[in-house]
Structure 1
Amino acid sequence: MPPTNRTPLLGNGRGNNGHSRRLSYKERIVSIFSIPEDQPGWTRSYKFFFFGSWLNILLVFVPLSFVSHHLDWDAALRFSFSFIAIMPLAKLLGVATDQLSLKLGQTLSGLLNASFGNAVEIIVGVAALLQGELRIVQTSLLGSILSNLLLVLGCSFFAGGLKYPESNFQVTAAQNATSLMTLACITLVIPAAYFMSQTVDEGGFHLFTKAVQPGAIEEHYKSGLLIISRGTAILLLFVYAAYLVFQLKTHAFLFQAREGEEEVEELEMTPVAAGTALLMVTVVTSFAADYLVASIEETAERYGIPKPFIGLILLPLVANAAEHFTSVWMAMKNKMELTIGICVGSSIQIAAFVIPLLVIVGWVTGHDLTLFFANFETVTLFVSVLLVNMLIQDGKSNYMEGLMLITLYLVVALSFWVS
């Protein structure tokens, strides 16, 4: 029989008799996602980057987000496509950061993770800030803190508690982290307290007949809030830098995982490939975030979704999707130091780094972003941090503690839905 140029579409498996064997669907998928060891560095790097996770299937929504925005499709479609597109992009940002950090050593690795650990929150925040959506900036950042402290940590404690009766973690490091989180929380309470003190007359009555939103403050009170916010932002950035030195240098031993808990990662990407991928995904994410923010106003008005709910609940779910999965997975492996580091550490980055950074960016770009949150939001943050502090002070966790955190998050979500 003469040779033929017809070959199987995926693979060239042959049976014992020499004839072509039809690959199963499972074998076809594995052949696509497998990463042979003998491939060149760049090829293997990008194959791992784009085909290393099933979540990357959602990358199909990235071009849909671009097309829907430029063709001016319905607001719900534009919001949904951009919303879903950011989920795999957030995962890819984390992958590129982790792979790049493996070659940089402990100090540079820590700085890189501190800078890009919440890249999606920074990108979405800057996009909203430049469009003048100050309330979206505030609620999305506050929502990221609450999502990490209540939902992600709660699900992790709950999932770990179902597998292990009780999990232990290094209490000193956890208390140091929550103390800094408490400090950042207090800095958000002070501007609200200042505003309340300035808007109460001599008889003790509030000068406004209805709740005042942070975006509708009279100029007389805004000047004082701006001075407090910008000064506090600079101080918080200094404290955060000191915390990095504390964590990475002087007291690094407090943050080391217990023996057997270290999560050893393999180098799958070359540093150049990882750096290029990080830059590329950051640019794409910035466009997707810009389209997402641009569709929020119309989506909220047309479909009756409260904007605070979008900023506080929906946007953080996208930004924290990858962290949520990783944290729960580590808790189910009884690696609670890593879980605490992911949840509380991410919240610290947002409260002590991202929020002050955006206040400074707003100062430079002429957008008057302050640390004055609505009273309800401030109280919500305060009680959330208080609950987390109480639950981790004994260095132990169980499923009941996780259920408490999840319940508080659901109460917060319900409250902002009707706000």
Structure 2
Amino acid sequence: MKKRLKPILLILTFLLSAAGHFAGWNTTVQFLLSAIAVIFVAGFLGRATESVAHYAGQRLGGFLNATFGNAAELIIAILLIREGLYDMVKASITGSIIGNLLLVLGLSLFMGGLKFKIQRYNATLASLNGSLMTLSIIALFIPAVFLNTHSITTEGIKMLSLIVAGILIVAYLAWLVFSMITHKEYLADVSDSNDEDALAHEHEPAWSKKRSIVYLVIATVMVAFVSEWLVGVLEPISHQYGLSELFVGAFLVAIIGNAAEHSAAIMLAMKNKIGAAVEIAVGSSLQIALFVAPVLVFISFFLGNTMDIVFTTLELLAIGVAVFIARSITQDGDSNWYEGLLLLAVYIILGVSFFLV
């Protein structure tokens, strides 16, 4: 019965969201229906990706989960760019980074730590992830400083943004080659092989390889539609309830868009696959900072009005704080429930602060 209920709720929420959008229902009702639909669709996307990940292996599986988990954020951001809402795009990028590093990773470490006293993953991989996080901070910090000190013109900052975006994309692609091809064994997960075999038999995928891929495509298409309906009501909702674009983009959009990562990472952590859970949470943040954000800069350029990569002081502070504590907690390769609680505490502090802006 439970297995039948999930697809019924998925289809029902999707259809209700579509009805609200095309029939022009009340803005608040449209927002709530679209938000609920995104969560269900993202959950479906997460399950499909986890099933594909079973056939692809933990590291590649974690990468695929992070990639398809970011589909909602990427589609939402492209639609926001089309509407010219650049401030909300940057806020959503900020929210995605801190949401993955603090909320998704925090919940994964916390829930996994409650079930398993100490969980271990590759410390070398964690250290390299920390270095990449630092690179993302530097790339976002420099354009903001040069613009705010009037060392460069507005046109110059757009050119700098395109150059920085190009460098970050190259750095991210090089990281994929390094981690997936040339140093794959060096960065392998440290999980005990016997535990892995037991878990593999205990948690067989729900679908075949072919069906998993088909469902992955269907889920991505559904995410695209629901994301567009959600974006259509974001601006009216923010005005209606007096919410800043910063809060809407950094927390509402990010929490809704991160639903796939939430479910997949927490489930993996509770199966003692903490390496894959960390790969999803941290890898997703890195993908947003080093690939998605730069790609959005180029998309805006091709649409005729280049979005600069200059973030506000508050956004840079939030990302910097998230990177600092996430790096300090993950660098040793061990995790427990208390470390997860620390990450969640920082997320709540930032959330309350952004709400009061």
Shorter-chain TM-score above 0.5: yes
Task: Give 1:228's aligned amino acid.
Answer: L
Task: Give 2:277's aligned amino acid.
Answer: T
Determine which of 36, 57, 71 is the counterpart of 1:119.
71
Query: CA shift at 1:416, angstroms?
Result: 0.8
TM-superposition CA deviations, 1:346-400 (whole Å, max 9, x none):
1111111111111111111123212111111111111210111111222222233
Find the aligned partners of 1:149 and 1:248 in 2 and give their Cα distance.
Answer: 22
Q: Is the 8 A contact 2:39 2:259 kept in 1?
A: yes
Find the aligned partners of 1:309 and 1:285 in 2 and give their Cα distance.
Answer: 22
**1:232 maps onto 2:164 in alignment:** yes
Q: Provide the TM-score with structure 2 as the length reference.
A: 0.89
**1:83 maps onto 2:35 in alignment:** yes
What residue in structure 2 maps to residue 321 of structure 1? 259
Find the aligned partners of 1:107 and 1:257 in 2 and give their Cα distance.
Answer: 12
Equivalence map 1:238-257=2 (5 Å):
238-253=170-185, 254-257=187-190
- Shift in alpha-carbon separation, 1:129–1:106, aligned structure 2, 3 A: same
Q: Is the 8 A contact 1:247 1:255 kept in 2?
A: no
Task: Give 1:245's aligned amino acid.
Answer: V
Query: Identity over aligned residues, as a percent?
Result: 35
Task: Give 2:17's aligned amino acid.
Answer: S
Task: Give 1:258's aligned amino acid.
Answer: S
Find the aligned partners of 2:315 and 2:40 in 1 and give their Cα distance.
Answer: 29
Find the aligned partners of 2:218 and 2:48 in 1 and give their Cα distance.
Answer: 10
Q: Of Structure 1 and Structure 2, which has the larger fraction of its residues in helix?
A: 2
Find the aligned partners of 1:139 and 1:56 in 2 and give their Cα distance.
Answer: 33
Q: Is the 8 A contact 1:126 1:358 kept in 2?
A: yes
Q: Is the 8 A contact 1:58 1:84 kept in 2?
A: no
Find the aligned partners of 2:118 and 2:42 in 1 and give their Cα distance.
Answer: 32
Q: Is the 8 A contact 2:100 2:281 kept in 1?
A: yes
What residue in structure 2 maps to residue 156 of structure 1? 108
Q: Is the 8 A contact 1:127 1:286 kept in 2?
A: no
Q: Provide the TM-score with structure 1 as the length reference.
A: 0.76
Q: Is the 8 A contact 1:56 1:88 kept in 2?
A: no
What residue in structure 1 maps to residue 334 of structure 2? 396
Task: Give 1:391's aligned amino acid.
Answer: I
- Shift in alpha-carbon separation, 1:295–1:335, aligned structure 2, 3 A: same
Q: Is the 8 A contact 2:102 2:346 kept in 1?
A: yes
SS at match of 1:255: coil
What residue in structure 2 maps to residue 4 of structure 1? none
Query: CA shift at 1:83, angstroms?
Result: 0.9
What residue in structure 2 maps to residue 288 of structure 1? 226
Find the aligned partners of 2:53 and 2:6 in 1 and give their Cα distance.
Answer: 23
Find the aligned partners of 2:210 and 2:327 in 1 and give their Cα distance.
Answer: 41
- Over the aligned positions, Cα root-mean-square deviation in angstroms equals 2.6
Task: Give 1:278's aligned amino acid.
Answer: L
Query: CA shift at 1:70, angstroms?
Result: 1.9
Q: Which has the larger radius of gyration?
A: 1
SS at match of 2:137: helix
Query: CA shift at 1:283, angstroms?
Result: 2.8
Q: After superposing the two structures, state which structure 1 stretch, 105-114 or 163-172, moved more.
A: 105-114
Greater relative CO (CA pairs within 8 A, separation 6+)? 2
Equivalence map 1:100-111=2 (5 Å):
100=52
Q: Is the 8 A contact 1:55 1:88 kept in 2?
A: no
Q: After superposing the two structures, state which structure 1 stretch, 107-116 or 240-249, moved more.
A: 107-116
Query: CA shift at 1:91, angstroms?
Result: 2.3
Tell me, which stretches of 5 or more residues in structure 2 are unaligned?
Answer: none
Q: Is the 8 A contact 2:92 2:254 kept in 1?
A: yes
Task: Give 1:190's aligned amino acid.
Answer: I
SS at match of 2:149: helix
Query: CA shift at 1:176, angstroms?
Result: 0.8
**1:147 maps onto 2:99 in alignment:** yes
Tell me, which stretches of 5 or more residues in structure 1 are unaligned?
Answer: 1-28, 34-50, 200-219
What residue in structure 2 maps to residue 191 of structure 1? 143
Q: After superposing the two structures, state which structure 1 stretch, 258-267 or 170-179, moved more.
A: 258-267
